Amino acid sequence: MATVNGAAHYVAVDWGTSSFRLWLIGRDGTVLAERRSGEGMTTAAKTGFEAVLKSHLDAISAPDDLPVIACGMAGARQGWVEAGYLDTPAALADIVHAAVPVPGIDRDVRILPGLAQRDTTAADVMRGEETQLLGAGEILSSGDHLVCMPGTHSKWVRVSQGVATGFSTFMTGELFDAISKHTILSHTVGDGGAFDGTHPAFVEAVAQIADNPALATNRLFSVRAGQLLHALPATDGKARLSGTLIGVEIAGALSTVSAGGGICLVASGSLGALYQAAFSAFNLDPILIDADDAVRHGLASAARTLWPL
């Protein structure tokens, strides 16, 4: 462990609302150690951000002078230290220069800011995803791109020549959760099992909503009616709910951009596969960038600027 830590360069932390991920990164850029837990902002706001960070640093025997770069909700107003927002249009390379140091502690800890779009008719914010954009930098540094970052609050970002020019958030993941649990659909989808992007009910739901996105809140009810009239199985209902919400997200995001430029999908695992399937229904074939890699690369980019070797 002494050898490992002697080779350490910095610690990177992706601190979300409900998740905490930490990497100990070596001077050669390799991952020397990794920690994952559920101590996101919601938990850490109660137990203390410094205590949560310290427990993980202790667990990997991180030297006291090792600096830490963090992104995500740790920088929110309800987080550890408010790290503010960079306003759009924002050059991705400028994000690191707005990093905010955590005051009153011995270690050098910096938190990256979010991005804000202050336009009153399309006000929007992100926190964490800007670091993924930074991590996808090579692809995004030239040309025009539309970047889809699915999740609880999916972000769609327009990036031109390495500058985030504007973005839109869609409440897809959170709506899926709230509708599944807290509406009449809970009776229909509650017992549903796992499904993937090849599930016919998912594919059909995406295609239907692509055809007429205005019917979103009607298509949701059809999940319930399908169960009552045609004994639609719970898993089919769940797939249909998901396809409707992802479909209206994609239709909405595409409606705001003119043609031209490629689409990047920044996602991991099964969610990435689900969105790829949904894109297929729109006859689109985005470039896939792994979201876990992207956030780590973004933190690495910031760390190398702040603490050059």
Distance in Å, CB of 132 to a copy of itself, minimum: 18
170 touching a copy of itself, by CB under 8 A: yes
Stretch that binds a copy of itself, among 61-69, 166-174, 193-201, 262-270 (CB under 8 A): 166-174
Per DSSP, what are the bridge partners of residue 21?
14, 36
> Which of left, alpha, beta for 98 (phi over 0: left; psi -120 to 50: alpha)?
alpha
- The helix (H) or strand (E) run that includes residue 203 is helix 200-211
CB of 136 to a copy of itself, least distance (A): 22
Q: How far is the CB of 125 from a copy of itself (least distance, A)?
A: 5
- Could you tell me the smallest distance in angstroms from the CB atom of residue 52 to a copy of itself? 22
Q: In this complex, which beta carbon is closest to a copy of itself, that of residue 71 or of residue 248?
A: 248
The sign one gets for the Cα dihedral 171, 177, 183, 188 is positive
Contact between 160 and a copy of itself per CB under 8 A: no
**Can residue 252 be called a binding residue for a copy of itself (CB under 8 A)?**
yes
Nearer to a copy of itself, 134 or 251 (CB): 251
Question: What letter would DSSP give residue 62?
Answer: -
One residue of 221, 270, 285, 287 binding a copy of itself per CB under 8 A:
221
Phi (first) and psi of residue 32, to 5 degrees: -90, -30
Nearest C-alpha neighbor of 281 from the set 236, 249, 235, 256: 249
Q: Is 97 in the site for a copy of itself (CB under 8 A)?
A: no
- Determine if 171 is a binding residue for a copy of itself (CB under 8 A): yes
CB of 238 to a copy of itself, least distance (A): 16
Question: What is d(CA 72, CA 83) in angstroms, rounded to the nearest whole number?
Answer: 9
- Check if the beta carbon of residue 18 is closer than 8 Å to that of residue 42: yes
- 212 contributes a contact to a copy of itself by CB under 8 A: yes
- E-strand ranges in 49-136 read 68-72, 85-87, 90-91, 100-101, 109-111, 114-117, 124-126
Should residue 172 be labelled a site residue for a copy of itself when binding is judged by CB under 8 A? yes
- CB contact at 8 A, 206 and 247: yes
User: Which of 181, 190, 196, 287: binder of a copy of itself (CB under 8 A)?
Assistant: 181
Residue 309 is classified by DSSP as -
Tokens of residue 152, six digits = 């609880």
- Size of site (CB under 8 A) for a copy of itself: 49
Instruction: Choose, by CB under 8 A, the member of 108, 174, 292, 293 that binds a copy of itself.
Output: 174
**φ/ψ of residue 35, rounded to 5:** -135, 140
C-alpha torsion sign, points 227, 182, 291, 158: positive
Stretch that binds a copy of itself, among 24-32, 44-52, 90-98, 209-217 (CB under 8 A): 209-217
**Is residue 179 a contact residue for a copy of itself (CB under 8 A)?**
yes
Least Å distance between CB 153 and a copy of itself? 6
**What does each C-alpha distance from 66 to 106, 109, 205 come to in angstroms?**
10, 9, 50
Look at residue 107 and give its three-state secondary structure: coil
Q: Which of residues 255-284 bind a copy of itself (CB under 8 A)?
A: 255-256
Shortest distance, position 88 Cβ to a copy of itself, whole Å: 11
Residue 14: Cβ-neighbour burial (10 angstroms; 0-12, 13-18, 19+): buried
Rule CB under 8 A: choose which of 53, 116, 140, 149 binds a copy of itself: 116
Site residues (vs a copy of itself, CB under 8 A): 77, 116-118, 120-125, 153, 168-172, 174-175, 178-179, 181-184, 208, 212-218, 220-222, 224-226, 228-230, 245, 248-249, 251-253, 255-256
